[in-house]
Structures are given as C-alpha cells and as structure tokens.
Structure 1
Amino acid sequence: MNIFPVAVAEEAADLSQALEGLTKEEAAMGGAAVGIAIGMLVAGLIVWYVFQAIADWKIFAKAGEPGWKSLIPIYNIFVEYEICWSGMMGLVYAVAIVCANFLTQGQAVQNWKVIVACVLLIVALVLHIKQSMKLARSFGKGAGFGICLILFGPIARLVLGFGSARYIGKE
C-alpha cells in the first residue's frame, strides 16, 4: 500500500485552500517579494563570483601564470594543479567530478552508478585536500592555511590572492 500519493494530494489541497483566500494584490506582492529575494541572491552570487575570479587571477599572476587562464573552466583547474603539484592530477580531479555528475543525471539512476559516483567523489575529495595543502605550501603557508583552504576555500583564496603571500614554487 502506497500512501505517498495520498499525502501529496492532501498537501496540495491544503495549499490550494490557503491560496484561495489571497487577493490578487496579496498574491502579486508575494510574487514580487519572492522575485526580489531571488534577484538579490543572484546579484550576491555574481558579486561573489567576481571576487573569486579576481582572487584566482591574482593567485595565478603571483605564480607567474597569465591571470586570464583562471577564467577558463576546467583548464583553470589544470593550471592551478600545475602551479602547486601536477597538471595531470588536476585533470584527474576534473574528470572525476564531471563523470560523477554525469553518472547521477536522469530520473532513474541505478545503484551501481551512485556507488561509482561516490567513489569518484571520494577520489576528487582526496585530490582536493592534497592540492589545497600543496597550494598553501607553494605560497609559503603552513598546514593551518591548507586546512583553511579546505574548509573555507573562497575566503582563504581571497586572502592568498590579495595578501602578502609570495609564490615560492612547488615543493
């Protein structure tokens, strides 16, 4: 016996009854409020992305790479890994992420695909942790800053890009 469709139908009926009591003006104001909230979220994300792009540009420039390379998706991963470790490891990281995403697309995902995707994501996580530690060391920072790159990556990247850290090369 499957009660899920019944529960969904009851929730939809309750929502429909709640919305019937709204005037057109109230519904319009609610829609406008949602639209404004979504607009503010999108604007905030764009501003955040611009700051991250500038920070990555500065990190690349400090390492002697042209900053524009930080703007090209997937290639920027390869270059960043090359700065502190190995470009090939960056390629493995990017392929693992893309393949895991590809495997979990669609409505009916088989169990084996989920398991393979999880393994790929674990591989990507391990590579990301190692790369973050190596990136910190290649700019003269210690393990503490590497942990900050792992846990608070965007903020640590801003500090690395705009701070006084100098690129000292791969370890």
Structure 2
Amino acid sequence: MAFVLVIVAIGFTVLILASWWKIFTKMTQPGWYGIIPIFNYCVIAKKSGKDWWWGLLTVVPCIQIIFQIILLNELSKLFGKGVGYTLGLIFLPMIFFPILAFGSAEYQGPQGKAF
C-alpha cells in the first residue's frame, strides 16, 4: 500500500512540475524558471508589474499565504482568468495548474496598472 502511495505522490509531483514548466514557457520564460521554488513567484511578480521581491514574501512566516494568494491571482490575470480561477489554483491545484498549462489559455501579459 505504501508503495502505491509513493508512486501516486511521484506522479502528482511530476504533473505539477510539468505544469509549472509549461506555464512559464507560455509566459515566454525558460521553463526551468517555473520549477525553482521562490524564484518562480519572483518571476510571476515581475511579469505582473510588481517588484521581484514580492516573490520573496512567499517565504515569510505569517504573511506567506497572503502573498501566495496575491501572486496566484496575478498569475490568473496574466492568462486572462478571473477570481474563480484563482480559487481553483488555491484549493484544487492538481486540477487547475495542468488546465492552465496544457489547456487553451494564452499568456496576455499584465492587465492595466498593478498596485
């Protein structure tokens, strides 16, 4: 039973890594940017018009979840998606990251002025 769980966990990990890679290639960035923890959020922040250090705030205790949600919302906006899609990225990442990566969503760039 444990072996099956390990195989499933490895499968989900590969799926998420492949999704991050594909999302970043859609954003005209090297795919490997997407699989480096923290750096990927720094790139998302920069692409959405915010300072790169917003990505560093995803590792600060107590405010980490807030900035991850903000940057996932920015990622949704970069692909023309709304708040509903952001909620999907937060609560069902195993479904919504692959849809964003391998679906028909196209990178649209920042929408308007970022705060």
Tell me the TM-score normalized by structure 1.
0.59
- Please tell me the residue identity of whatever aligns with 1:161: A
Q: Please report the RMSD computed on the Cα atoms of aligned residues, expressed in angstroms.
A: 1.6
The equivalent residue for 1:138 is 78
- Please tell me the residue identity of whatever aligns with 1:68: W
Structure 1: runs of 5 or more not aligned = 1-36, 97-119
For the pair 1:44 / 2:8, whether they are aligned, the reply is: yes
The equivalent residue for 2:33 is 69
Quickly say closer, same or farther: Cα 1:77–1:166, change in 2 above 3 A: same
RCO comparison, higher one (Cα < 8 Å, 6+): 2
Q: 1:136, 1:40 → 2: CA distance?
A: 33
Query: Equivalent residues in 2 for 1:81-100 (5 A)?
Result: 81-86=45-50, 87-94=52-59, 96=60
Structure 2: runs of 5 or more not aligned = none
Q: 1:44, 1:163 → 2: CA distance?
A: 23
- Alpha-carbon distance, 1:152 to partner: 1.2
Which deviations, in whole Å up to 9, do the C-alpha atoms of 1:63-95 show, x marking residues without a partner? 01100122223322322333335321111212x
Query: Radius of gyration: which is bigger?
Result: 1
% same residue: 33
The equivalent residue for 2:19 is 55
| Count of residues in Structure 1 that have an aligned counterpart in Structure 2 | 110
Tell me the TM-score normalized by structure 2.
0.85
